[in-house]
Amino acid sequence: MNYQHCSGRRSGQRLLADIRSGQQVRIFAIEGGHKLRSRLAAMGLFPGVEVKIIKDDPFVIAVHGSRLVLGRGIACKISVY
């Protein structure tokens, strides 16, 4: 999936919103304010963490043995590699 509506996309940047079910990626950066980064960190999502995409849109991800659901807007703010 390639969500062109993700604003602020840099050339060559892979976002969580681009990743398909079954793939495993590592978080590179989270674009957003302190409040968003703190909230995601409290859920275990921060740069360097490996996540597996269980389902895309809404995004169900597995991280640290738990499953989390993220909306498309949040998935567009998470850069991965």
Determine the Cα–Cα distance for residues 16 and 6; give it in Å rounded to an integer.
11
Q: pLDDT digit string (tens) for 6-57?
A: 876 667 789 999 999 999 999 999 999 999 999 999 999 999 999 999 999 8
Tokens (6 digits) for 77: 């703010």
Report pLDDT for 30.
97
Q: Kind and range of the H or E element at 46?
A: none
Region at 65 (left for phi over 0; alpha for psi -120 to 50; beta for the rest): left
Q: Rounded to the nearest 5°, which phi and psi values hold at 39? A: -65, -45
Please give the pLDDT value at position 5. 65
Q: What is the pLDDT of residues 57-77, one digit of tens each?
A: 899 999 999 999 999 999 999
Ordered structural domains, the chain, with CATH: 16-80 (2.30.30.90)
